[in-house]
């Protein structure tokens, strides 16, 4: 039996009853997530774990490098479609762009996209975030951390390029947040625009 098979069996035998009423309610009432959570595909970033959220609470988007393309950059539609659906149809009240430390995509972005011809899709995906490199301070002490933070902030600004997002932010119905998950310490830092840096989650300033 594979690791996944064993996990499914354990869920069915030990956990399913605890969630039964919750999923019956979700089935009856549909999904009403309060947050669109955009993060990296990295296996170490588990949004429901680090936010202690239940099924139905987070509308999830995962992509390589938690990249949020601007609305007019139409080469890749998946993330853009999820933004429109979560904001315009589901009416979430918050959007989190959550990057993380030790991100392979951000390392690649800091070094320049991979040149290998055998990874054409990965290269094309990372190339769309090339603009992030122009946002970096000169000679950052930690170039990968600088790229990671700049990519989160670039993503938040790009969110505002979607008309449905801009409209709701202007009306005070939608808040945008930049988070950084530090894998080694499991700490969540949030962007504080007032002081222009990432800080522990308790001091977050909402925009």
Q: Site residues (CB under 5 A) for Zn ion?
A: 40, 42, 103, 105
| Cα(115)–Cα(89) distance, integer angstroms | 39
Minimum CB–partner distance for residue 69 and Zn ion (Å): 16
Q: Between residues 58 and 67, which has the closer beta carbon with respect to Zn ion?
A: 67
Q: Between residues 38 and 174, which has the closer beta carbon with respect to Zn ion?
A: 38
Find all residues with CB under 8 Å of 104, minimum gap 6, and list them.
42
Q: Between residues 40 and 164, which has the closer beta carbon with respect to Zn ion?
A: 40
Question: DSSP 3-state assignment of 91?
Answer: coil
| Cα(8)–Cα(58) distance, integer angstroms | 22
Q: Between residues 100 and 168, which has the closer beta carbon with respect to Zn ion?
A: 100
Minimum CB–partner distance for residue 72 and Zn ion (Å): 25
Minimum CB–partner distance for residue 11 and Zn ion (Å): 26
39 contacts 52 by C-beta, under 8 angstroms: no
The closest alpha carbon to 96, from 58, 133, 141, belongs to 58
| Cα(140)–Cα(146) distance, integer angstroms | 7
């Amino acid at each position: 039996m594979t690791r996944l098979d064993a996990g499914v069996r354990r869920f069915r035998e030990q956990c399913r009853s605890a969630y039964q009423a919750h999923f019956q309610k979700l089935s009856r009432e549909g999904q009403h997530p309060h947050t669109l959570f955009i993060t990296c595909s990295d296996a170490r970033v588990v949004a429901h774990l680090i936010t202690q959220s239940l099924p139905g609470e987070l509308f999830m988007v995962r992509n390589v490098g938690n990249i949020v393309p601007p609305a007019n950059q139409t080469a890749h539609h998946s993330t853009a479609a999820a933004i429109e659906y979560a904001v315009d149809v589901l009416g979430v009240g918050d959007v989190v762009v959550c990057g993380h430390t030790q991100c392979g995509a951000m390392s690649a972005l800091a070094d320049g996209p991979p040149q290998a011809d055998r990874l054409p899709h990965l290269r094309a995906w990372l190339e769309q975030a090339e603009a992030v490199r122009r946002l970096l301070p000169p000679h950052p002490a930690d170039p990968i951390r600088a790229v990671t933070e700049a990519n989160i902030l670039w993503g938040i600004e790009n969110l505002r390029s979607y008309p449905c997002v801009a409209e709701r932010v202007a009306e005070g119905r939608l808040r945008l947040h930049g988070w950084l998950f530090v894998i080694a310490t499991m700490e969540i830092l949030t962007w504080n625009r007032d002081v222009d840096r990432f800080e522990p989650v308790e001091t977050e300033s909402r925009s």
